[in-house]
Structure 1
């Protein structure tokens, strides 16, 4: 690993041997034109990770470079990058919000990143221990028959490294967001939710509470951005944190996650849909209604009952996430996260058999499919998500489809186990602790 890190740093400093000049184009485009001081954290990390991923940086080194560069950025006086004060845009819920010129501040961040890389090229620091749990991640996403791609996802096995957490508890974060009315809410959630989660004091002892607080916070901060930029989009989302020997899932809306243990489906969650009896009752108690217009909709508008965004229908469309925590015993196969474009066509009980079939065919390319979004050195399991997306499309899904498969043990073990025991396809419920319904 040290040799790989040194090789990357050598190539990187050859490309970026000097700071970016003030009037030069950035090598990657910022997500926004203006950001708040808080939003700068997530957008800088996203920009740095995107720059480094495009150059095949080792994931652990990439996280450490971005975390260190951000720490250096936060020590700077950022007042030269403040946007002109505009009362209407810079005021949220009675609070003054300082906005920064994104391109200028991100140029400074990238120069900090270049400085760190130059220093580490000369004297590479001792890396922290890598995650102890085997976490190969297979991801695939397609626009399908929709006019636009409004899904976003994030796989972050290096959660601790990215946020400088050194408590000895291994953590990995995975999330899928299914936007509607535009991609802005999904992009915002994919950029900022994990940052908000990392700042929760309850994270180590109570990940479910940390998740709930983080979801509500992101819904609130996106409200400020939506007001400033006149955005009307929303997003459902499902996020998983593997922390030590616990797996915590948090969700809003109808994106879902399932766990497979010894070939059996473990139910982790109940998706929020407008016609779910408790969701219907919650909305009616608030004075709203559920109507059928091709599908069940909240007040005749959105086909989701909980989401980040959709502020014209708050509080009927709630931003209050539900959570469940499941103990990990070491016999778990994988956790699968996907949007409703997958689960509307594929039943959870069908997943284990499909995954085993895909693993057995892992060396064969899928005819007519796009290349996977993410690559790994492991060939076994690499194309599983791609084949699952293909199954959903063949089953009639016309929606955007995103599938993320996080292996909790090496795929080769699953094949070996299946060779002796055969696929198990029964379902069972987890001992989850759902957050109370609103």
Structure 2
């Protein structure tokens, strides 16, 4: 089994475990999942939903590490339509007029219809080529208020204290009017093969 298929299987199993333990009292709840696994030379990122990873390289460029799963994307829209579902606009594009992302863990009423799925996208990056300085892993509450480039610039100015940078950008997202929950993690790379999580 490859690392990529192993990660996908773990996320699918996690969705099944959530269903087993929460079906009777949190049947309608759902969440995103964003995982970053670091090895000596590679960074593997798996995501389900609309949490997002963004890396800052040595030149200050914002490199997307994941793709949001949104119902308006052509690939997702076609898959939803093939499953017999629909998307509609209610402040944002939503699956069955309800959910603003097209993949998730949980959200079982939509899973039963097969219009929302738990299948992750998994991407692997060569750290020697990227030469990363830091990465941001965050829920959509941040990305509703900041572009990738804005977030990278904001954190770069506060990189001596990544923990402070993460707290500061959460507050800025809130001040910009984000009504959603906001979770941010900043991981500072010491060099191409080691990281320091703060």
TM-score normalized with structure 2 length: 0.88
Match of 2:168 among 373, 376, 387: 387
Give the C-alpha shift of residue 285 in structure 1. 0.7
1:408 to 189, 194, 197: 189
User: Could you tell me whether the CA contact under 8 Å between 1:239 and 1:250 is conserved in 2?
Assistant: yes
Aligned ranges for residues 193-212 of structure 1 at < 5 Å?
202=1, 206-212=2-8
- Distance, in Å, in 2 between the alignment partners of 1:312 and 1:331 is 43
Corresponding residue for 2:13?
Answer: 217
SS of equivalent to 1:303: coil
Paired residues of 1:295 and 1:303 also in contact (CA < 8 A): yes
Indicate the residue corresponding to 1:258 in structure 2.
54
1:44 is matched with none
| Residue 114 (structure 2) pairs with residue 309 (structure 1) | no
SS of equivalent to 1:282: helix
Q: Which residue of 1 is the match for residue 119 of structure 2?
A: 320
2:11 and 2:183 map into 1 onto residues whose CA distance is 20
Matched, 1:397 2:193: no
Alignment correspondent of 1:332 = 132
CA contact (8 A) 1:257 1:336 kept: yes
2:15 match: secondary structure? helix
For the pair 1:234 / 2:33, whether they are aligned, the reply is no
Counterpart CA distance in 2 for 1:286 and 1:232 is 20
**Mind listing any 5+ residue stretches in structure 1 that lack a counterpart?**
1-201, 363-379, 411-438
Within 5 Å, give how 1:107-146 maps onto structure 2: none
5+ long unaligned stretches in structure 2: 192-198
- The structure with the greater share of residues assigned to helix is 1
**Higher RCO (CA-CA < 8 Å; seq separation 6+):** 2
Q: 67, 73, 82: which one pairs with 1:285?
A: 82
1:256/1:338 contact within 8 Å kept? yes
Aligned CA RMSD, in angstroms, stands at 1.7
Match of 1:353 among 144, 148, 153: 153
1:236 to partner: Cα distance: 1.1
Q: Note closer, same or farther for the CA distance 1:230–1:350 as it changes in structure 2 (3 Å cut).
A: closer
- Aligned partner of 1:276 among 73, 76, 95: 73
Kept after mapping to 1: 8 A contact 2:27/2:108: no
Aligned partner of residue 335 in structure 1, secondary structure = strand
Give the C-alpha shift of residue 400 in structure 1: 1.1
- Contact 2:140/2:182, CA 8 A, preserved across alignment: yes
Q: Is the 8 A contact 1:241 1:249 kept in 2?
A: yes
| Cα deviations by residue, 1:182-212 (Å, 9 ceiling, x for unpaired) | xxxxxxxxxxxxxxxxxxxx3xxx3221111
Distance 2:136 2:26 in 1: 34
Aligned to 2:196: none
Shift of 1:332: 1.0
Mapped partners of 1:357, 1:215: distance in 2: 34
Aligned pair count reads 187
Report if the CA contact (8 A) 2:162-2:187 is conserved. Answer: no
One of 243, 247, 260 as aligned partner of 2:43: 247
User: SS of the counterpart of 2:94?
Assistant: strand
Q: Is the contact made by 1:346 and 1:395 (CA closer than 8 Å) also made in structure 2?
A: no
2:162 match: secondary structure:
coil
Q: Deviations over 1:118-142 (max 9, x none)?
A: xxxxxxxxxxxxxxxxxxxxxxxxx
Q: Is the 8 A contact 1:385 1:404 kept in 2?
A: yes
Q: TM-score, normalised by structure 1?
A: 0.41
